[in-house]
Amino acid sequence: MFKLISEPQADSLTIYIDGQPCQVPAGISIAAAVLLHNALPSRTTPVSGAPRAPFCMMGVCFDCLMEIDGQPNQRACQMIVAEGMHINRQLAAGRKPA
């Protein structure tokens, strides 16, 4: 469904999507990494539980909300991957850790 147009020039790094290690090119957005690894849906809606995935890739639609390093409701399309990041699908509204 989603693939890189050309081989990445940058180094790769390891992130964790739902606890699974994934190798991704450095410098891409978290949303792009999620799409690259077909980790869909990236979230579900709070009211109906409908599945959602990154859509606009520029921070307008909020369909890419995910839990990133323990913080819910983060726009995955607006954040660049970093070594060791923990990214989880967000179910419903997401809750801040107590």
pLDDT at position 9 is: 62
10-residue mean pLDDT profile of the chain (98 residues): values are 64 95 95 94 92 94 95 96 97 71
d(CA 38, CA 20): 12
Q: Residue 66 domain-assigned? A: yes
Looking at residue 55, its amino acid is F
Q: Residue 97 domain-assigned? A: no
d(CA 31, CA 33): 5
What is the total count of domains within the chain? Answer: 1
* Domain residue limits at 71: 12-88
Can you give the CATH number for the domain in which 67 is found?
3.10.20.30
Q: Residue 41 domain-assigned? A: yes
What pTM, to 2 d.p., does this model score? 0.86
